[in-house]
């Protein structure tokens, strides 16, 4: 490709992007979903939290199945006033008791509801909540209703595999993280600072 | 599903996870790639940076085509000693000059090389570098060689659409972010604190 062709291609690209920016002028809180089996769902949510905090936005994080182990992003973001509410029983496949898991889940959901009703919060992250719905710990309708009635400027991020299609329909932005490769599968240990 | 069935299913899940953890005992720096057309690539990289910094790891970020506008994650992470080197000309479809873009790209790459040779860095993020390779601003072989000869404990993250298959082959973990929906396309404006 010569320079003139290159410039022409870049010009077309610029026009396309400019047009899309012009057309997208509606300001409102959005529902974003990071789903799929690949790595990067919680991580992308935490990256968005970091970004929002960097712009002095108010962020709250509710983690539905993270364990009790140390958590790098929490260490950092809590210093900026981001509350982390982590479901007490940790991974549900460690506890294996449907009743206690359901109670823990519903307690965690009560905390999430507070954030989803509080207009001070610009961004609420419901990390790994999809599993709570799949396991029937949490009624889908309650989640849909809370999202529909939240303050209109509030952004919400949902993460987790196998997101229910009703939530996908409700969402503004949905990314499916597809695993093309995973280091864990080729025998490399999960690492502090990278994997948690 | 009754309680006994539920417990049996969770037990199987736990055994599967435990086996995978046991098998994955090799400790080494990994190459992670976030590619695809969906939202969350840079964001997942920044989430990993936040996580790593939260564990007192040393992180460096090189951004190949981000513009000069304010950047939320940078505001926050720089406070923790994370250097951000951002390619001067910003988006290449704004500048549209192959020669100046190539020079800017190669200058940025020189900075990336410093990090990729420095064992003090636990994590180096090469944000949107894939475009530099697609546009022929940066030779693929140089990137492959720098990644192959980096300190063995160093983790590297590459982000951007259309990642070259040679880099995919080299990587340990690759996630393709697939856009199922994008708010931008339905007329919602890109938002400070969420999109940048």
> pLDDT of B6-26, one tens digit each?
777 777 777 766 665 665 555
Instruction: Check whether A167 has a pLDDT greater than 90.
Output: yes
Mean pLDDT over each residue of chain B, to the nearest integer: 85
In angstroms, what separates the C-alpha of B172 from chain A's closest C-alpha? 5
Residues of A serving a catalytic function are 37, 39, 41-43, 51, 91, 93, 128
What confidence score (pLDDT) does residue A81 get?
92
B98 part of the active site: no
Model confidence over B36-62: pLDDT tens digits?
999 899 999 999 999 999 999 999 999
Instruction: Give the three-class secondary structure for B44.
Output: helix
- Which residues of chain A have a CB within 8 Å of the CB of B176? 38, 177-178, 180
What confidence score (pLDDT) does residue B21 get?
60
pLDDT bracket for residue A88 (50, 70, 90)? confident
Report which of A196, A185, A2 is spatially closest to residue B173, judged by C-alpha positions: A185
pLDDT bracket for residue B183 (50, 70, 90)? low
- Measured CA to CA, the distance from residue B88 to residue A147 in angstroms comes to 40
The answer to whether A131 and A92 are in contact (CB under 8 A) is yes
What confidence score (pLDDT) does residue B68 get?
46
- Measured CA to CA, the distance from residue A136 to residue A92 in angstroms comes to 12
| Spatial CB neighbours of A162, under 8 Å, sequence gap ≥ 6 | A35, A130, A131, A134
Over range A172-189, report the average pLDDT: 80
Half-sphere exposure in the Cβ direction for B16 (13 Å, CA) = 8
How far the first Cα of chain A sits from its last, in Å, is 44
Q: Between B43, B94, B173, which is nearest A47 by CB?
A: B43
**Contact check, Cβ <8 Å, B14/A93:** yes
Q: Between A10, A32, A77, which is nearest B92 by CB?
A: A10
Looking only at the bridges linking them, the beta strands covering A59-63 and A123-127 are parallel
Q: Between B30, B47, B174, which is nearest A46 by CB?
A: B47
- Measured CA to CA, the distance from residue B5 to residue A109 in angstroms comes to 25
- Measured CA to CA, the distance from residue A195 to residue B22 in angstroms comes to 16
Burial class (CB in 10 A: 0-12, 13-18, 19+), B171: buried
What confidence score (pLDDT) does residue B10 get?
74
What confidence score (pLDDT) does residue B193 get?
73
Over range A76-101, report the average pLDDT: 78
Model confidence over B72-118: pLDDT tens digits?
888 889 999 999 998 876 555 555 678 888 888 999 999 999 999 99
Report which of B65, B38, B48, B49 is spatially closest to residue B176, judged by C-alpha positions: B38
Looking only at the bridges linking them, the beta strands covering B31-35 and A173-181 are unpaired
Q: What tokens were used for A28?
A: 């409102």
């Amino acid at each position: 490709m010569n320079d003139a062709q290159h410039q022409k291609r870049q010009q077309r690209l610029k026009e396309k992007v400019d047009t899309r920016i012009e057309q997208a002028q509606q300001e409102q809180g959005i529902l974003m979903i990071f789903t799929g089996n690949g790595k990067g769902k919680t991580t992308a949510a935490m990256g968005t939290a970091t970004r929002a905090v960097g712009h002095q936005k108010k962020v709250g994080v509710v983690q539905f199945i993270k364990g009790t182990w140390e958590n790098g992003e929490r260490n950092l973001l809590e210093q900026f006033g981001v509350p982390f509410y982590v479901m007490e029983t940790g991974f549900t496949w460690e506890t294996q008791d449907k009743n206690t898991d359901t109670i823990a889940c519903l307690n965690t959901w009560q905390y999430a509801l507070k954030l989803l009703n509080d207009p001070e919060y610009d961004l609420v992250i419901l990390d790994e909540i999809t599993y709570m719905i799949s396991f029937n710990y949490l009624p889908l309708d309650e989640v849909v209703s809370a999202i529909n009635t939240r303050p209109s400027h509030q952004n919400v991020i949902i993460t987790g595999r196998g997101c229910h299609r009703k939530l996908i329909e409700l969402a503004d932005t949905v990314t499916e993280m597809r695993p093309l490769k995973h280091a864990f599968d080729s025998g490399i240990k999960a690492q502090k600072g990278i994997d948690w």
